[in-house]
Amino acid sequence: EADIYQTPRYLVIGTGKKITLECSQTMGHDKMYWYQQDPGMELHLIHYSYGVNSTEKGDLSSESTVSRIRTEHFPLTLESARPSHTSQYLCASSEAMDNEKLFFGSGTQLSVL
Amino acid sequence: DAKTTQPNSMESNEEEPVHLPCNHSTISGTDYIHWYRQLPSQGPEYVIHGLTSNVNNRMASLAIAEDRKSSTLILHRATLRDAAVYYCILRDTNRDDKIIFGKGTRLHILP
């Protein structure tokens, strides 16, 4: 049912590398979100967007950045990965209408060595 | 922002009903109550939402207290596949729509 895709599913990378986590949805949703989740812990909102050229910081401070040049695409970038960035990153989207449900991707598990 | 309180974990036997409680004593009149669940190694998935009246769908039922300060997610007949973390969240898109998840309730199903 959910047409939201995240790549890669798993990523192991060395410290200092630049990485981009991809998130795409084919539902035409205006709202998109990035959450960060450590094992067994709650989800923390790190970025969200209401539409093209709109990006906002979430509740958890993050060194990552996002962009929203196209409706369907909401990539997250880390300029210089560190071990503290090791976590699961989950992307979600919803329609702009009030209280529309969130659709989540399968997540990217990032490990920085 | 209005917050929710849920038990950290619950257990239930397979094929029995499960009642997952959520307290939201500071809920505002325009807050909708949403429930999501997260299966192991997956992203969360939508379960149900409501405003004032009880709601039913193919996955679950949502019972909302008359004063709206609490709600209960009801799984009518739990299966092993219902073992997950269940999140109760409040959502008001009249305000800045930062959808905040709490710690949720980890539901264990006993065979």
For residues B29-53, one letter each, b for 16 or more C-beta atoms within 10 angstroms of the residue's C-beta and e for the rest, the string is eebbbbbbbbeeeebbbbbbbbeee
Nearest 5°: the CA angle B23, A105, A96 is: 70
Tell me which chain A residue has its CA closest to the CA of residue B38.
A104
Query: Rounded to whole angstroms, how far apart are CA atoms B13 and A98?
Result: 36
- First-to-last CA distance in chain B? 39
Res A54 pLDDT > 80: yes
Q: Which residues of B touch A31 (CB under 8 A)?
A: 97
Res A73 pLDDT > 70: yes
- First-to-last CA distance in chain A? 35
* Percent of residues, chain B, with pLDDT higher than 70: 94
Res A87 pLDDT > 60: yes
**Average pLDDT in the A20-40 region?**
94
**Average pLDDT in the A34-45 region?**
92
pLDDT attached to residue B93? 62
Q: CA of B39, closest CA in chain A: separation in Å? A: 11
Task: Please give the backbone phi and psi of residue A79, each rounded to the nearest 5 degrees, phi first.
Answer: -70, -35
| A72-76, B18-22, B53-57, range with the lowest pLDDT | B53-57
Between strands B9-13 and B105-110, the pairing is parallel
pLDDT in tens, B30-81: 888 999 999 988 899 999 999 999 999 999 999 999 999 999 999 999 999 9
| Residues contacting residue B9 through CB under 8 Å, at least 6 positions apart | B105, B106, B107, B108
- Give the model's confidence band at A61: pLDDT under 50 very low, under 70 low, under 90 confident, else very high: confident
Between strands A103-104 and A87-94, the pairing is antiparallel
Q: CA of B93, closest CA in chain A: separation in Å? A: 6
pLDDT in tens, A15-28: 999 999 999 999 99
